[in-house]
Amino acid sequence: MQGWSGSGFLEYLGNPYLLGGALATLWLTAASISIGLALGLVIALAQRSKSKVISIIASGYVWLFRGTPLLVQLIVIYTGLPQFGVRLSVIESALLGLSLNEAAYLAEIIRSGLLAVPVGQVNAAKALGMRDRQIMRFVVVPQALRIIVPPLGNSVNGLLKTTSITSVISMEELLRRTQELIQERFLVMELFAVAGLYYLAMTTAWDFVQRAIERRFGRAYERAPTAPDQR
């Protein structure tokens, strides 16, 4: 068995091919979380719908995509849909699979945030003559965001790493490119170590962004400083 090669590790630490894979991971994460968030919001609102049919369909969607592995979903989309005449490229399949899967989890996060807003505040808004859309926009959503932001940030962190699963359908992201280089140079541990550092760098950078966003949304709820005792 070949031993650890420090020179091999350093050689690929700034490799343009791997950096390109890291960029693919970033844009795939950004696109998937954006689409998933929009779809998750629709699903969360549908679950709260007064129509039982709409509510059941939305709940069924969440049940299906949370209850089956993402790997299976990707394979079905990439290899199963063509049997029904729907052919998608690798990128389209990866983006669709990640977005649909993420939407199910984000829908539950959004729904829990909306349910956390006290009913009394909604009733008070109705007593003031506010319409349902106004209540949702000015009363419910601002308070729900403070609750939603932390788990939403964690979802982004998790999705950065989950994109690696798309390598099974040949998506040219970081892990896939790492595996291709391993087949050429057989530097298994060295290249996986480089990939691990890339993932760590991306998740660490996002952690700083997430903390800044949490401070921004939590600022209005911080306790005002008390005046010093004048006695």
Q: Which of 32, 26, 20, 30 is nearest to 178 (CA)?
A: 20
| Other CB atoms within 10 A of residue 204 CB | 10
Q: Considering only residues 207 and 230, tell me which one the structure prediction assigns the higher pLDDT.
A: 207
pLDDT of 135: 84
- For residue 87, what are the contacts with CB-CB under 8 A and spacing of at least 6? 81
Q: Stretch 146-173: mean pLDDT, rounded? A: 94
pLDDT of 132: 81
Domain annotation for the chain: domains and CATH numbers: 11-219 (1.10.3720.10)
Alpha-carbon distance of 205 to 20, in angstroms, equals 17
With a cut of 90, say whether residue 69 has pLDDT above it.
yes
Query: Using 50, 70 and 90 to split pLDDT, how confident is the model at 221?
Result: low
With a cut of 80, say whether residue 225 has pLDDT above it.
no
The three state secondary structure string of 77-135 is: HHHHHHHHCCCCCHHHHHHHHHHHHHHHHHHHHHHHHHHCCCHHHHHHHHHCCCCHHHH
Tell me which of 10-14, 123-127, 174-178 is least confident.
Answer: 123-127
